[in-house]
Amino acid sequence: MIVRHLNDCQNTDRHVKSATWDSVRMQLSDDNTGYSFHITTIYAGGETEIWYKNHLESVYCISGDGEIETLDDGKVYPITAGTLYVLDQHDRHILRGGSQDMVMACVFNPPLNGREIHDEDGAYALDTPLLAKAS
């Protein structure tokens, strides 16, 4: 079994930071589970364009508020504590923080390895295959 505490992962090499969000990558590909697990904070008032063209992702909002816009159809969905969104179509999207930081629990398939940075598309390169591909 693997047991980790968020406090012990913060401000280590598991903790990646950008101008509009930060993310604690608590579980990665080297744990050999087939998915990774992240606690990501989207900063209030910030805007981030993302396209995970190589990954599927589920995101659950623990606290805070904001919205997600899917870029192919222009739809905007509010996010509050309790909202789950699933990027099952590799959806290009914009995340916007609202009046408070949004704290999100995120799962990736395939797992991130922890070395990813967003490329010019807002995507991460792939070094292990998807386990199940969206149809």
Task: Based on the shown chain and the rule CB under 6 A, indicate whether residue 83 belongs to the binding site for ligand 9YT.
Answer: no
**Least distance in Å: CB of 57 to ligand 9YT?**
6
Nearer to ligand 9YT, 56 or 106 (CB): 106
Phi, psi of 9 (to 5 degrees): -95, -25
* Cα 117 versus chain centre, distance: 12
**Least distance in Å: CB of 25 to ligand 9YT?**
5
Bridge partners for 103 per DSSP: 41, 63
Give CA–CA dist 42/18, Å, rounded.
10
Give CA–CA dist 119/44, Å, rounded.
23
**Least distance in Å: CB of 82 to ligand 9YT?**
16
Selected binder of ligand 9YT within 20, 40, 70, 100 (CB under 6 A): 40
Would you say how long the chain is, in residues?
A: 135
Residue showing the smallest CB distance to ligand 9YT in the complex: 23
Nearest to 94 by CA among 77, 119, 112: 77
Selected binder of ligand 9YT within 28, 65, 104, 111 (CB under 6 A): 104
Task: Based on the shown chain and the rule CB under 6 A, indicate whether residue 61 belongs to the binding site for ligand 9YT.
Answer: no
Residue with tokens 């047991």: 3
Binding site for ligand 9YT (CB under 6 A): 16, 23, 25, 38, 40, 50, 57, 59, 104, 106
